[in-house]
Amino acid sequence: MNVLRTAQRSNIPNSAVADALSFNPIGASRLLDAWSRLSPSTQSHELIEDIAREANLFGEQLRGILKAFTSIHIVKEEPSGLRLTLSSVEAEEKAAFLEGYAYARHSHKDTNQVDVTLSPPSRPSKLMEHLPRQGFAWAGLDDTKDNLVDLASRASKRLVVVSPFVDDPGLDWIASLFDTTASSVQRVLIVRAAEERVRTLLSRRRAYFSSNNSQLFSYAIPRPTKESLAIETFHAKVVLSDRDRAYIGSSNMNLASREISLECGVTLTGPCVRPVATLIETIISISERLQP
């Protein structure tokens, strides 16, 4: 029996289930769980309505769930009623997934926060001439420079700045962020030091980086084969504060990004930052350690 059930699995992905039932995952879970216990799998509309009533599903709620079930082929309309296309085992699994999905969405609802940041172009700027005309809609765009200072001030263990391109004004910017942190906070800078120009810029700041025990890394790894892309490197711009706050965006640590060009990004707060922290830790592990 188990072999037969395995062979008949519909392979409906959980992502499709979550997308289709996100409006009421708990109600869908209860209905699917009750339906999985019925035999045969085809039931009349009246019986389904009775089952739904016990799950506190009525009218539009029930019709919406059944429509979603049909759209992802969990349920099929037949002359005698509605047929559940899943085996009882798979229906129970999908019901359990929907319950877990509902819990995860609720538990992380208030713990994750996303703010959009903006560094406007230098004036005169056609964008900044037109953007204020949009009323209060654009007021939710935070200033990137302010958000990075906030990230630095909140770091309790480590602040990591990831910027492929740096110049002297950018290193001043980095220094201001490092100086904002508490003295006990570990400071890390990751750059693309494939060019001698970048290494020279960093060497001129050796005294500063040494004085606060900063760690410098270059993610620019020569490739073992001769090809057009000579190095493995990066274009991402990230500022990571501990493991629960981060900026991800377009802003390099240089004059152009700080004062001249339009730059945009997001600052993230909460458990959603942990994969970003894992990525940064992995980059550090494979990067070249530079002497401050």
Residues 6 or more apart in contact with residue 264 via CB below 8 angstroms:
116, 117, 118, 119, 249, 250
pLDDT at residue number 117: 74
Question: What are φ and ψ of residue 71, in 5° steps?
Answer: -65, -30
Tell me the domain boundaries of the chain.
2-107, 113-290
- CATH 3.30.870.10 for domain 113-290, yes or no, is yes
Q: Beta strand pairing status for 142-143 and 113-119? A: parallel
CA distance 62 to 57: 5
pLDDT at residue number 251: 93
- Under CATH, what is the fold of the domain 2-107? Arc Repressor Mutant, subunit A (1.10.10)
Output the tens digit of pLDDT for each of the chain's 292 residues: 333 333 345 678 888 898 889 888 999 999 999 998 888 878 898 999 988 888 888 888 899 999 999 999 999 999 989 999 998 889 999 999 898 888 777 665 567 777 777 777 777 788 777 777 765 455 556 788 888 999 999 999 999 999 999 999 999 999 999 999 999 999 999 999 888 899 999 999 999 999 998 999 999 988 877 665 688 899 999 999 999 999 999 999 999 998 889 889 999 998 889 989 999 999 999 999 998 7
Which residue, 10, 9, 14, 11, is CA-closest to 98?
Answer: 14
User: How buried is 6 (Cβ within 10 angstroms: 0-12 exposed, 13-18 middle, 19+ buried)?
Assistant: exposed
Contact 246, 155 (CB under 8 A): no
